[in-house]
Structure formats: structure tokens, C-alpha cells
Amino acid sequence: MPEYAMYILLVPFVLFAIYRRFRTLKKTQRWKKVVAIVDSSYTRGAGEGSQDYVDVHYELGGQKFRVTRVRHEQTFNIGDSINLLVDPENPANCMTDTTALIDRFLKPHLASNL
């Protein structure tokens, strides 16, 4: 097997990761950015399979919301602020507002339907 065969086998995984990020950006492009306050922070699972979550509360359109089990990648303490993207049609549907390096290349293409 040629030396470069391993790299060729990785191409579908890289393309799938880019596609998933593009779909996430497309889904959330109309969502509202809000600053939420952390009510609690905890970890589920153990070892490499563990995932960090926070429970938060925020205000959107004059209404207050409390959401549990928002996944995140960094450490938060009770009372810290966290940036969220919130679906205005279903304010309980939210995710942390993160930026990936690939975003600056994908965002100009959000208007198209890939």
C-alpha cells in the first residue's frame, strides 16, 4: 500500500466534519445571541467519555428562561457569563456560541443551498 493511502482514507472524515460544521452554521444563522448566567456546572461520564454541562438562565424578548444540560468545552463557575445562540422560535433550544477556524470560509456560502 502506498505511503499516502492513509491520507486519502482520511479525506472523507475531514469532508464530513466540514459538512457538519456548515449545517450547524446554517441552522443557527437566524438564532439570537444572548448572554446567560451559569446556575450550575457538572460533568457526566468518566474519563475520555466525559462531557461538561451547565444549567443557565437568560432573558430573551422580555421573558426569562432556564435551560439545563447545555454542553460546553471550558470551565465555568456559578454566576459566570456564557454566550449562547438561542432559537427564537423555541427559546429552550440553545447551544454555546463557538467559533471554529473554518467558519470564516463557510459563512460567505450560507446563502447557497449546498
- Domain assignment of residue 81, yes or no: yes
**Strand pairing class (51-60; 63-72):** antiparallel
| Residues near 41 by beta carbon (within 8 Å), at least 6 away in sequence | 52, 53, 54, 55, 75, 76, 77, 78
Q: Is residue 71 part of a domain?
A: yes
Determine contact, residues 83/35, Cβ cutoff 8 Å: yes
**Structural domain contains residue 51:** yes
Domains contained in the chain, number: 1
Residue 114 placed within a domain: no
Asked if the model's pLDDT at residue 112 lies above 80, the reply is no
Residue 91 lies in a domain: yes
Tens of pLDDT along 61-110? 899 999 998 888 788 899 999 999 899 889 888 888 876 666 666 666 66
Residue 67's H or E segment, with its range, is strand 63-72
Range of the domain at 28: 5-109
Q: Residue 97 maps to which CATH number?
A: 2.40.50
Residue 30 has phi, psi (to 5 degrees) of: -100, 0
On whether residue 16 sits in a domain, the answer given is: yes
Which residue shows C-alpha cell 441552522? 27
Q: Which of 73, 80, 63, 77 is nearest to 95 (CA)?
A: 73
Residue 50 falls inside a structural domain:
yes
**pLDDT tens per residue across span 39-68:** 999 888 887 778 889 999 999 989 999 999
